Amino acid sequence: MSQPVVSISSCPTYNESRLRHSLEEVVRGCGGLEQFLCRGERVLVKPNMLAHSRAGGAVTTHSAFVRVLIEILQEAGARVYVGDSPGRGSTESVAQSCGIRDVADKTGAVLLPFEEGIEVEYDSASVCRTFFLSREALEMDLVINAAKLKTHPLTGLTGAVKNCMGLIVGAEKKKLHARYPSVYDFAEMLIDLYLLSKPVLSIVDAVVAMEGPGPRSGRPRPLGVIAASEDAVALDAVCAALAGFSLPEVSTLMAAQKRGLAGSSLENIIIRGPLPGELRDKGFDKGASGRGWSFLWRIFPAWSRNLKERFRPWPCIEDSCNRCGICREHCPTGAIYDWNKGFENSKPFIDYKECLRCYCCQEICPQGAVILRPRRPRQR
């Protein structure tokens, strides 16, 4: 089995000349663009454009990072396109809010709407044989994954593998949560999706990551790192180590290990640049579902999977809710109701008997009003 390579560069700011230095360094460390890019090819840059957010909020891949990456690709002769299917809102409106629309206008890259999906079969799948992938993404010659490093309540961490979820159009993403409600089945589905879509290169923006209740309501946390690899699993394993996660705390790495993918284990990875141990952020807040499982895993490896599944936290809606109703639209099981059948009068209500603990509501709430609690709240 060949050893995956991950290239790391320190990058303390989003200053464009500093970004250029680091992005060129990590791309060179992965063998250079010329090994997979021919002049004139259509290249999709796939940032994380989860939802409306300003550029420095750490919710989306930073627009300056996307800009410099596009310029490097254009200088290498690529025809560059940018696109993602946000969790909420159109690609255009999210791109406007996070600065990527402006980047597209200034660089001449084409912003793709990601509205139409095509059913694609994956015969080697472990759990999910059919995906609805963006038609525009499928028409590209190459995909370059430009991910953001953030905490995530379901997978522990969202980085390069989870970023592939944005290749699935609109509400099809919600259906996958309903089809794979278990933490580990969902992670296996993400690995299937990654192996099917297989970006030629993945690069993670961890100049400023997100800690705490990510992937939307957490806090920006400077890590000062850009990392890249042809192997998104290996890249996530290294990024997880930078943020202080161990393997059992990141379900996509667990699924990759079960599949025998070399990148799931740090020992198999060739690292070019500073080692994760030297850059590790010891105070990184791993959020609600990234705590403590490595200890349990070491003591009770056979049980910890079931225990993690069983003791997943529960979503609760706080008083800061402004009753916009967005969580209700996005809940895959329709578990969110209003006590008085009208959002005008009272807070929404989660029926925990129907709740999958997929955390779509926490991920999408623009107010950060959905928080996760270790115990299931009592209901009438």
Which helix (H) or strand (E) segment holds residue 118: the answer is: strand 117-121
CB of 288 to ligand SF4, least distance (A): 12
Cα 137 from Cα 197, distance rounded (Å): 9
CB of 374 to ligand SF4, least distance (A): 15
Cα 69 from Cα 320, distance rounded (Å): 38
CB of 176 to ligand SF4, least distance (A): 12
Q: Name 138's Cβ contacts closer than 8 Å, sequence gap at least 6.
A: 118, 120
CB of 364 to ligand SF4, least distance (A): 6
The nearer residue to ligand SF4, 276 or 315, going by C-beta atoms, is 315
Q: Name 34's Cβ contacts closer than 8 Å, sequence gap at least 6.
A: 76
Q: What does DSSP assign to residue 285?
A: -
Reading the block at residue 239, the tokens are 């990024």
CB of 34 to ligand SF4, least distance (A): 45
C-alpha distance from residue 189 to each of 29, 179, 212, 235 (Å):
30, 10, 25, 18
The nearer residue to ligand SF4, 233 or 370, going by C-beta atoms, is 370
The nearer residue to ligand SF4, 141 or 338, going by C-beta atoms, is 338
The nearer residue to ligand SF4, 39 or 378, going by C-beta atoms, is 378
Footprint on this chain of ligand SF4 (rule: CB under 6 A): 315, 317, 321-327, 331-333, 335-336, 348, 350, 355-361, 365, 367, 369-370
The nearer residue to ligand SF4, 11 or 358, going by C-beta atoms, is 358
Find, among 286, 291, 295, the residue nearest to 157 by Cα.
286
CB of 373 to ligand SF4, least distance (A): 12
The nearer residue to ligand SF4, 96 or 367, going by C-beta atoms, is 367
CB of 287 to ligand SF4, least distance (A): 15
CB of 248 to ligand SF4, least distance (A): 22
Which helix (H) or strand (E) segment holds residue 233: the answer is: helix 232-242
CB of 185 to ligand SF4, least distance (A): 15
Reading the block at residue 336, the tokens are 């969110």
β-pairing, 156-158 vs 5-10, is unpaired
Q: Name 64's Cβ contacts closer than 8 Å, sequence gap at least 6.
A: 14, 15, 16, 19, 55, 99
Beta bridge partner(s), residue 119: 132
The nearer residue to ligand SF4, 99 or 153, going by C-beta atoms, is 153
Angle at 6 between CA 62 and CA 80, to 5 degrees: 45
Reading the block at residue 174, the tokens are 């919600």
Reading the block at residue 126, the tokens are 């472990």
The nearer residue to ligand SF4, 36 or 352, going by C-beta atoms, is 352
CB of 54 to ligand SF4, least distance (A): 19
The nearer residue to ligand SF4, 201 or 370, going by C-beta atoms, is 370
Cα 87 from Cα 276, distance rounded (Å): 30
A 10 A CB-CB count for 25 gives 18
Cα 178 from Cα 308, distance rounded (Å): 19
The nearer residue to ligand SF4, 210 or 356, going by C-beta atoms, is 356
C-alpha distance from residue 319 to each of 104, 140, 354 (Å):
39, 45, 22
Reading the block at residue 50, the tokens are 């989860």
